[in-house]
Amino acid sequence: MPEYETLVWELEDGVATIAFNRPEAANALTMQMGEELMDASIRCDDDPDVRCVVLTGTGRMFCAGADLKALPPAGPGMATEIKVLTTYLHAAISRFARMEAPLICAINGTAAGAGFSLALIGDLALAAESARFTMAYSKIALTPDGSSTYFLPRMIGLRRSLELSMTNRMLSAAEALEWGMLNRVVPDDELQGAAAGLAAQLAAGPTSTIGAAKRLYHASFNDTLESQMETETRAITDAARRPEAVEGLAAFMEKREPKFHG
């Protein structure tokens, strides 16, 4: 098992749980956290025992974005440090998005800046009722990073995305749900249990098929109708060849629950 200083890592029954673990600093991102998050994402992508991933935070915050106190003052020094940090962060996000295992974001508290961006990267997202969301970049004259300019307009549309970016409006969990950023809002003390239950359900599913479906949905924003349908045909025929499909169809015919793992 990896030993991280800024993250909590657990792997049990096919579910990898990754928690930002700097609660004394609002789980703000440092260079070390970025590097460890990238390492964790690669482990999730490469380890066949990982069939679902939960991303959350310890303490009262999900993630407050970059730790500005750990960066040099604005200028060339800060620019270079941000370039390195985003290299780690963006590599992690790319791995999480492309891996076969589904990713659940369990947003336990405020998500700001890059933390806002990270709250968007899950295939599914649950939030505690007390969670809040703000982009916060323009307040310090910086532009968004961490993939939010990719995921956010796809979820809520261009005008709302620009509003959040330009005004730094604080969204409640209920508003984020209404706008399409979340799948579900639960009471604070039920969040981790709800995430664990959903993760167990997904971990018991056909992981390679879930991964193929993820790739289809991501490709759909860039493909024409005809090319997307051809990609669908290739994906479903590939899926039909796999042992997961053999088990799934056998279970259907036998009127029992499929057993995809173990």
* Identity at 119, one-letter amino acid code: A
Query: What's the CATH code, domain 7-203?
Result: 3.90.226.10
- The CA radius of gyration of the chain, in Å to the nearest whole number, is 19
CA dist 222 → 1, 88, 156 (Å): 38, 25, 18
Q: Is the pLDDT of residue 159 over 90?
A: yes
Burial class of 25 by CB neighbour count within 10 A (0 to 12, 13 to 18, 19+): middle
Which is it for strands 132-134 and 171-172: parallel, antiparallel or unpaired? antiparallel
Mean pLDDT of 77-86: 95
pLDDT value for 240: 96
pLDDT above 90: percentage of residues in the chain: 96
Catalytic residue among 39, 67, 123, 145: 145
For the chain, domain boundaries: 7-203, 207-253
For 162-228, give the DSSP string. HHHHHH-PPEEHHHHHHHTS-SEEE-GGGHHHHHHHHHHHHHTS-HHHHHHHHHHHHHTTTS-HHHH
Q: CATH 3.30.390: does it fit domain 207-253?
A: no
How would residue 181 be classed by pLDDT, with cut points 50, 70 and 90?
very high
Give the closest residue to 246 by CA, choosing from 209, 199, 204, 201. Answer: 209
Cβ proximity of 63 and 118 under 8 Å:
yes
How would residue 74 be classed by pLDDT, with cut points 50, 70 and 90?
confident
Q: Is the pLDDT of residue 262 over 80?
A: no
Mean pLDDT of 70-98: 95
Give the closest residue to 118 by CA, choosing from 141, 88, 76. Answer: 88
Active site (annotated) includes residue 145: yes
Active site (annotated) includes residue 90: yes
| Residue pLDDT, tens place only, 100-127 | 999 999 999 999 999 999 999 999 999 9
Mean pLDDT of 55-75: 94
pLDDT value for 163: 97
pLDDT value for 184: 98
Mean pLDDT of 143-158: 97
pLDDT value for 2: 78
pLDDT value for 189: 97
pLDDT value for 143: 95
| Residue pLDDT, tens place only, 189-235 | 999 999 999 999 999 999 999 999 999 999 999 999 999 999 999 99
Catalytic residue among 13, 90, 188, 223: 90
